[in-house]
Amino acid sequence: MSRCIQRVLLRSSRWQLPTRLEITSKRCHLAPPAKTYSTSSGIPSTTYPSVFSGIQPTGVPHLGNYLGALRQWVDLQSQALTNPTHDPSSLIFSIVDLHALTGHRSSALLAQHRKESFVSLLAIGLTPQHSTLFLQSDVPHHASLHWILSTVASTGYLNRMTQWKSKLSLPDTATLTDSTAIEKLRLGLFSYPVLQAADILLYRPAVVPVGEDQAQHIEFARTLARSFNSAYCEDGEPLFTPPEVQISEARRIMSLRRPAQKMSKSDVDPKSRILITDSAEEIHAKVKGAVTDSEEGISYEPARRPGVANLLDILRFVKRDERAPEMLAGEVQCLSKKDFKVLVADAVVEELAPVRDRYLQLMAEGNAEVKEAYEGGLERATRKAEETMKLVKERLGLVEWR
C-alpha cells in the first residue's frame, strides 16, 4: 500500500444513499459530500409518469448499459412504488429484438441473447409484479404501427440521422447518394428510427429514459407523433402526446482498453468492458488492466487523461456521487494508480455482486420465475398495444365493417 494511504474504506450499500467514500491518510482525507443525494432519476417524486424504454438483445449487458440506462429503470420502478395505486403496465421495458435483425445473422446466438437480456432485466431488480417486461417481436403491433408511421415519416429527416451512418462507418455528413450507402445500406437500418418510434408511441408513455446516444431518435419519435396527429387528428384530440426524453447522468462509460471509445459489446477485446455478471476477480482484473497513463496522481482531464477520467466517472456514477468529477479527483489525487484502481474495482464489485447472484439464480435449471415473468409481461404489453392500435385504426378509417 502506498505511503499516502493507511486505510481505505468504502462505506456503502446498494440502496443506501448518500454513498460515501472515505480515505484516512497522512496527507489526504475524503470529506463527505456537501449535500445528500436522493435515488431519484430526475422525475419529481410527487409524479408517477408512464414510462417506456427498450434495449437490444446483446446478451448480458455491460457496465455502460447498466449505468447509462438500466439502473435508471430500476430507480423509476422504486419511485413508482411510492404510489399506492401503481399500475405495472405504466412501466414498460422491452427487449427490442426486431431491431437486432439489422445486424444479427446467427439465429442461435440471437435466441441465446434474447434470454440473457430478459433475465438480466430481472436480475438488476425489475420485477414482474411492478413492471411490464416483454420481447418486442412477440407483440405484432410494433410492426403494424411501424408501417403506419412510415407513411408520415420524412426520408429527408431519416437521411440526416446519424446512426445508420455510424453503423456503416460513414461521416455524419454522408447522404444516401454516398457510394458506400448505395452499396451497403439496407432499408431496415435506414428505417430503424421509425420502428423505434413505433415501439415508443404504441404504449403512449410520458417519459422515455435512454442513453445520450438515443436522444436524436426520441426527438424523431416526437416529430412522428406530431405528424400523425396533424394528419389524422384534426377533428379530435391528438392521439399521441410527444414523450419527454430522460437522459441518464451516466451519459458515456468508455472502454477500459480504448478510453477514447464508448464501452461496447462489439469490441473484440472482452477486457474492454465489465459485464454485470462478472465475478469480483474478473472485475478487479479488468480494472487493473485498464489503460491510463504514466503520469503520477489522479486528475479529471478527459481530453488529456481519458483513461483516468473514465475510471473517475465509473467510480462517481457507481457511487451515485453527484458532485463535480473534479471534486472527486481532488479527493483521491494522492492515490497511486494501483490503489485508485482497487478503489474503483471494489465499488463496482459492491454494486454488481447482488446482480450477478440474482442472474445465476434465475438462470439455474428448474427456476420458473423467468417463464412467469415472460408470460405476465407479454399479456400486459399485448393488451396495452391493442388498445392503442384500436384507436390508431379508428383515426385511419381501418375499422371493421358493421
Q: What is the DSSP string of 221-290?
A: HHHHHHHHHHHH-TTS--S-PPPEEEE-S----B-SS-TTSB--TT-S-GGG--BTT--HHHHHHHHHT-
Specify whether 271 is catalytic: no
How big is the CA angle at 99 (ends 94 and 103), to the nearest 5 degrees? 135
**The three grid cell numbers given for residue 111, joined into one nine-digit string:** 435466441
CB-CB neighbours of 44 under 10 Å: 9
Residues 115, 167, 184, 393: which is the catalytic one? 167
Is 341 one of the catalytic residues?
A: no
Q: Which single residue is written with the C-alpha cell 385511419?
A: 396
Selected catalytic residue, list 26, 165, 184, 262: 262
b/e 115-143 (16+ beta carbons within 10 angstroms → b): bbbbbbbbbbbbebebbbbbbbbebebbe
Catalytic residue among 115, 184, 265, 271: 265
384 catalytic, yes or no? no
Distance CA 284, CA 282 (A): 6
Position 282, amino acid = E
What's the rounded Cα separation, in Å, for the pair 302 and 183?
A: 37
Q: Which residues are catalytic?
A: 167, 262, 265
